[in-house]
Amino acid sequence: MLAFPVAAMLLLLGVVVVEEFGTYRLAARTDRAITLDLAVQAISQEVQNERGVTLGLLAGNEGFRAEIVAARQRVDAQIGSVRQLIADDGDLDGQVTEALDQATALTGIREEVDGGGAERGEVFEEYNEVLDELREVYFALDNASDATMRLGSESLAMLNLAKEASAQQRAYLNGVFSAGGFEEGEYLRYVRLRADLDAALAEFEEYATPEALAAKDRLFSTAQAQRAAQLEARALRSGDGQILRVDAQGYWAAMSTVLDDMSKLAQTIGDSLRARAAVLLDEANLRLAGLAAVVLVCVGIAVYLGTIAAQSISSPLAELADEANRLAGERLPEAVRRTAAGEATGPPGPVRVADRASAEMRRVADAFDRVQATTYALATEQAELRRASADSLANLGRRNQNLLRRQLGFITKLEREEASPTGLANLFELDHLATRMRRNAESLLVLVGAASPRQWSRPLPLTDVIRAAVSEVEEYRRVSLRRLDEALVAGSVASGLAHMLAELIENGLSFSPPDLDVEIHGRLVDDGYLIAICDQGVGMSVDELERANRRLRGEGDFLTAPARFLGHYVVGRLAAEMGIEVQLARSAVTGVTARVSLPVSLLGGAAAIDEPAPVSPAAAALPAPSAVTAAPEPPVDWPSLQPPEPGPLAVEVDYVVLDQRPMVPAPRRPAESGHTVNGLRRRTPRAQRPRTEPAPALRPEPSAAIPDSPEAVRSRLTALRAGIQRGAGRDRHRNQ
């Protein structure tokens, strides 16, 4: 309500202040302009003196030779003093500087005169050009708003023109008198100079103050002025070719006195202008001070009234803002969190306002209540939708898991009954594909937060867990196990760890060249166990690594992420549940390394192997054989990390140095008789076994070795199949 009148008042005051400030600046500029104008006129007067002496010398009057050196020195000294006045800021100072730079032409004129080849008329014109440059400086003294300043500046300008015309006439006649008369064409030039002088004096009389006019009359009534006027009248009566017997130096001295008096008159006019400018400056200062006081008073009144008006609404508004902040930062997020967690809770209470709040404040509070209700309803709907989606996905995952478990059991039964090596190999391949499908189903359960029921109560060898993870990837033959320090891992995390490692191994294989292996290293470290999965792929940029590591830390929501990154979230969920740190890092050469750090709390014991034999890719894909007991435990049913969508993870792995020792394969040790290079007992195919009488089932002789479990037999037959395929590949290679 008060804003418009206050703004209008301040606007009017601003206009007045701008006008007064312009007057102030003009007065200050006028004072400086007059100072520079008089200084430039002083240079012009010295140049005029040098011009007259030079023309007298060129006319043959040697009496001026002694004066020419002093005249030149006075010109140079005056130019130097003016340069010291220039501050190099503003257009006026720039014009003066440019005019002084043009005055350097005097050097060439002097050299021409001293050389003896100069003509009097040409030298006269060259000096006039220098003086014209000095006269072209525009001091803007005629733009003053004050009438006295305008008239004074115009009279000063006209006086300077008359002074220049008198100086030209003095220089010209000095040459004529020294030569003894006018040469051809010189008389007409002198008449024009005389006309210019009369016109300048007439203009001066039009603008000059009565005091300046009286001073001009006194100036031209002196004896020296009368003497010079007589000689000039005599020159006017003499045409071209007539001999003039006139004392040139006497005329020079008389006219010099007149010019000095004219310079004094110009100085007087300039002083009066400076005094007027000082008065205007003081008046402008007073007006500006008064206006500033008025503006301050108006602003103070406006601030006071605004403060009173603001206080009437600021307190209720602050309370409303605090209530809205509590709603947005505490109550509403807490209600949404409880709803998302499935807790029975109602919406937050309404926004409270003070009793003294205005109707507008109450409408704002009602709007906040509606926003809160809408937000809570949307959050509740979203939480229910997410919960229903998670339940559906979990149900689907469990169904797939149960079907795949039954399928794997049936395949295992067929493997036990199959006698044909080809059929057995096909069943093994089908078993491997079903295992990968089971990993996809378990990945779905991991994403929706459904825990896997498959856990072990006793610690398991970590190498067995790694081999189980390798057996769940498609190209397990390209996986090379390097040094793996022996350790035991808690059975409660063995299934999840194998699932996570299988996902990372699958990813490394997907982003590696088909002719290069993915290496796995395992070392005992001070704070646990470090597993490194190293590929030699194309690598990842720094930004891609940072985004991938954020997903592996469990940050973000998989529902809003692209499908190709689902594996990241699976690994992140498993790592968070088990307290394992997973990180991707670039290697020094190429590729990426996935570092899996197991804390000490997950380990059950360890014993390092100093020089392990290298493990072939095919054998690495198999679980290690375990001792058979009278009542064998069920086979380890390892989980998988493969996301539901086919294709590799958008994760690339790089090499990392795990120890000071280089990771190179150890020399291959010859396999002992009856065992394979991977430590498995060599088995004779069923078709080649000697036929013996069948023994009663599950009744081995006490002194004989306990028969292996079906799972161990399947493992060894898988190794046999892999060896046959490698041998067949080598034969084909040799025959090509």
Percentage of residues in the chain having pLDDT higher than 90: 5
Confidence at 718, pLDDT banded by 50, 70, 90: low
Mean pLDDT (whole number) for 704-729: 53
Distance CA 14, CA 11 (A): 5
Confidence at 673, pLDDT banded by 50, 70, 90: very low
40 and 133: one domain?
yes
At residue 143, what is the residue type?
A: N
Mean pLDDT (whole number) for 29-43: 77
CA 208 from centroid of its chain's CA atoms:
65
CA 473 from centroid of its chain's CA atoms:
45
Query: Does residue 90 lie in a domain region?
Result: yes
32 and 93: one domain?
yes
Confidence at 598, pLDDT banded by 50, 70, 90: very high
Bigger pLDDT: 263 vs 685 = 263
- Domain's final residue, options 296, 325, 350: 296
| Residues in contact with 281: Cβ distance below 8 Å, sequence separation at least 6, in sequence order | 24, 27, 28, 31
CA distances 155 to 148, 200, 281, 448, Å, are 11, 10, 22, 98
CA distances 320 to 179, 324, 355, Å, are 103, 6, 12
Bigger pLDDT: 294 vs 631 = 294
H runs (alpha helix) in 418-448: 421-447
Decide if 336 contacts 291 (C-beta within 8 A).
no
Query: Does residue 308 lie in a domain region?
Result: no
- Quick one: 283 exposed, middle or buried, by C-beta within 10 A (0-12, 13-18, 19+)? middle
104 and 136: one domain?
yes
The 10 Å Cβ neighbour count of residue 513 is 12
Decide if 200 contacts 179 (C-beta within 8 A).
no
Mean pLDDT (whole number) for 584-588: 83
Distance CA 630, CA 74 (A): 129
Confidence at 663, pLDDT banded by 50, 70, 90: very low
pLDDT of residue 466: 92
- Domain's final residue, options 296, 328, 361: 296
Decide if 604 contacts 569 (C-beta within 8 A).
no
pLDDT of residue 356: 64
Q: How far apart are the first and last CA of the chain?
A: 98
Distance CA 650, CA 361 (A): 52
- Domain's final residue, options 359, 393, 427: 393
Total-model pTM: 0.41
pLDDT of residue 523: 92
Confidence at 524, pLDDT banded by 50, 70, 90: very high
What is the Cβ-side half-sphere exposure of residue 30, based on CA atoms within 13 angstroms? 29
Confidence at 715, pLDDT banded by 50, 70, 90: low
Q: Compute, in degrees rounded to 10, the torsion defined by CA atoms 647, 648, 649, 651.
A: -150
Query: Does residue 689 lie in a domain region?
Result: no
pLDDT of 636 over the 80 cut: no
pLDDT of 689 over the 50 cut: no
Query: Does residue 85 lie in a domain region?
Result: yes
Query: Which region among 536-540, 636-640, 654-658 has the lowest average model confidence (pLDDT)?
Result: 654-658
pLDDT of 647 over the 90 cut: no
For residue 578, the domain's CATH number is 3.30.565.10
pLDDT of residue 380: 77
Mean pLDDT (whole number) for 47-63: 81
Query: Does residue 700 lie in a domain region?
Result: no
pLDDT of 701 over the 70 cut: no
Query: Does residue 331 lie in a domain region?
Result: yes
pLDDT of 46 over the 80 cut: yes
Extract the tokens encoding 132: 């014209």
Confidence at 733, pLDDT banded by 50, 70, 90: very low
Bigger pLDDT: 721 vs 486 = 486
Domain with 481 in it: 411-626+635-668+676-681+706-735
pLDDT of residue 590: 84
210 and 335: one domain?
no
Mean pLDDT (whole number) for 461-468: 91
Confidence at 301, pLDDT banded by 50, 70, 90: confident
Query: Which region among 100-104, 535-539, 636-640 has the lowest average model confidence (pLDDT)?
Result: 636-640
228 and 342: one domain?
no
Confidence at 488, pLDDT banded by 50, 70, 90: very high
60 and 118: one domain?
yes
Query: Which region among 470-484, 557-571, 625-639 has the lowest average model confidence (pLDDT)?
Result: 625-639
Query: Which region among 132-141, 385-394, 635-644 has the lowest average model confidence (pLDDT)?
Result: 635-644
417 and 387: one domain?
no
pLDDT of residue 90: 59
Please provide the average confidence, as pLDDT, over all residues in the chain: 73
User: Which one, of 286, 295, 353, 276, lies nearest residue 322 by Cα?
Assistant: 353
For residue 484, the SS3 value is strand
User: Which one, of 282, 291, 287, lies nearest residue 27 by Cα?
Assistant: 282
Mean pLDDT (whole number) for 124-149: 75
Mean pLDDT (whole number) for 119-127: 83
User: Which one, of 330, 333, 310, lies nearest residue 322 by Cα?
Assistant: 330
Query: Does residue 687 lie in a domain region?
Result: no
Mean pLDDT (whole number) for 551-565: 71
557 and 609: one domain?
yes
Query: Does residue 371 lie in a domain region?
Result: yes
257 and 138: one domain?
yes
Distance CA 675, CA 501 (A): 28
User: Which one, of 229, 235, 231, lies nearest residue 186 by Cα?
Assistant: 235
pLDDT of residue 182: 84
pLDDT tens string 257-280: 988 888 888 888 888 887 887 787
385 and 520: one domain?
no
pLDDT tens string 355-401: 666 677 777 878 877 887 787 777 777 777 777 776 777 777 777 77
pLDDT of 735 over the 50 cut: no
pLDDT of 169 over the 80 cut: yes
54 and 81: one domain?
yes
pLDDT of residue 183: 81
- For 527-572, where are the E strands, in sequence order? 528-534
Helix (H) or strand (E) holding 289: helix 248-326
Distance CA 538, CA 589 (A): 10
The number of domains in the chain is 3
pLDDT of 664 over the 50 cut: no
Q: For the chain, percent helix, then strand, then coil, each to nearest 5? A: 65, 5, 30
pLDDT of residue 650: 34
327 and 454: one domain?
no
